[in-house]
A and B are shown apart, each in its own frame.
Chain A
């Protein structure tokens, strides 16, 4: 456990740098008298954020809900397919390139296709998008965890005359756990970004992404940027939740990463 002072040393420097950056931005706009339709002052964004806190929060729940749904479904799919791919070699050789191919498809194209497949007010295409992005990250990580087992531990299991199922349960699966949670931690902010971007391509105008597009294209750039700030906060919150989950679920990894 970190002592409060050590925690301060971690938290304070980035805060200071961030504040300095925002101040410079504010000062530059005031000094050069930049017009609001070119660039907005951070103070204006702040007041827009305060004024619109209700709608932004509601939008964040919609987008966050899509991101979390995608995160859960994508994680399940990734874990299941990784287990299948590691258990049956030929299937693994088949799934791996296919997963890579799916990941290589530009996300916007898929969104455009999916939005046309579902009704206009459906959240499903957005969730599917988030799911696909999460799936790949989780799949790749978990598969690696399942495959990269310690040679000594495998020899030990053989010496114990362990069945393949016992070996899977006692060695491969626990070994893959840290990889799974690393995958989730990486995928969580990605899920948010995907859920936000997916809203750019039609559907109900109820999330952070639709807020960003509609306000940035009007004179209310400060409100648009306030929505962007909301999206960032949502991404950070998802990341933090995933990091806490990792901390709790795989305590032995804590020790490894702090070494």
Chain B
């Protein structure tokens, strides 16, 4: 596999739901996007713009209606079967009946790893998300932010090259959310993971991303791709930098600019 091969390659990707029925919806049309290895790309847009659909196509949780899609140079299906990506959602989706460590080990268990190897890896992942002492806790004993960190640890447990995230911090309070964003950047730079990140928060997208993909609904499509790249050393000062605000404005205008002014409804301005 060459270094130049994109982590995600989509060309003229299309997804239509309920084909031929009165409820037919064009969720995505003409989506062309390449995500490079190591890159952090956010998908942002109002409800119905197809950002979650695009993420699920990449994850092979949905099948495209038309177009080209490759993940790690393979078909999306093969990439899923090879567990080339890890996934985290808005809901942590932790299993109440498994300890924190056993939650992290689940993808490895399904892959058939032996117990000692699983234990070692879950320990390593717990250290990575800085919850090293909580392995034997049960999920319900953790706070929302901690649960989300475990979900990320689980997504990365098999060391996948790609991390797919669907509004993972959407249910967290603002302070926890900013903390989790910094943690995510640290984790990704430590593990050299490529990330595709769905969000509806403009500052979140700008803070985290190398590129922000602005999408609009009816039919869902990409309207603009904005280069952000605030540098590798992002911290709390970054959130107060002029450059940060300029990029926020740029993304916001791109969202408003997409011909439907009303399309920007549902975008959080924080």
Contact = CB atoms under 8 A, between A and B. Distances in A.
Contact of B87 (A159, A166, A251): A159
Interface in B50-107: 56, 59, 61, 80-81, 83, 85-87, 89-93, 95-97, 106-107
A126 to B, nearest CB: 36
A255 interface: yes
Contact of A150 (B61, B93, B140): B93
Contact of B83 (A161, A171, A256): A161
A211 to B, nearest CB: 44
A178 to B, nearest CB: 9
A152 interface: yes
Contacts of B87: 155-156, 159
Contacts of B97: 174, 177, 250, 252
Contacts of B107: 160
B89 A152 contact: yes
Nearest to A159: B87
B106 A159 contact: no
A209 B119 CA distance: 56
A153 B97 CA distance: 13
Interface string B204-220: 00000000000000000
Contacts of A30: none
Contacts of A252: 96-97, 138, 140
B110 interface: yes
Contact of B106 (A158, A170, A177, A255): A170
A252 B80 CA distance: 31
A159 B80 contact: yes
B95 A155 contact: no
B83 A160 contact: yes
Contacts of A250: 97
B61 A159 contact: yes
A162 interface: yes
27 contacts: A150-B91, A150-B93, A152-B90, A152-B91, A152-B92, A153-B95, A155-B56, A155-B59, A155-B61, A155-B87, A155-B89, A156-B93, A159-B59, A159-B83, A159-B86, A159-B87, A160-B106, A160-B110, A161-B80, A161-B83, A161-B110, A162-B110, A166-B110, A170-B106, A174-B95, A250-B97, A252-B138
* Residue from A152, A159, A166, A256 whose CB has the most chain B CB atoms within 10 Å: A159
Interface in A153-212: 153, 155-156, 158-162, 166, 170-171, 174, 177
Interface in A109-152: 150, 152
A151 to B, nearest CB: 8
A177 to B, nearest CB: 7
B interface bracket (residues with beta carbon within 8 Å of A): 20 to 34
Contact of B93 (A153, A177, A255): A153
Given A155-B87, A159-B85, A161-B83, 5 more contacts: A155-B59, A170-B95, A170-B110, A174-B97, A252-B97
Contacts of B91: 150, 152
A249 to B, nearest CB: 10
Contact of A158 (B61, B85, B89): B61
Q: Which of A155, A162, A250, A251 has the most CB of B within 10 A?
A: A155
Nearest to B94: A153
B204 to A, nearest CB: 20
B165 to A, nearest CB: 12
A158 B93 CA distance: 13
A155 B92 CA distance: 12
Given A158-B61, A252-B140, A171 B93 contact: no
Closest 8 CB pairs of A and B: A152-B93, A252-B96, A152-B91, A174-B97, A159-B87, A255-B140, A161-B81, A152-B89
A162 B81 CA distance: 9
Contacts of A153: 93, 95
In the complex, which of the residues B56, B61, B97 has the most CB atoms of chain A within 10 Å of its own CB atom?
Answer: B97
A182 B65 CA distance: 44
A243 B261 CA distance: 58
Residue of A153, A160, A161 contacting most chain B CB atoms (<10 Å): A160
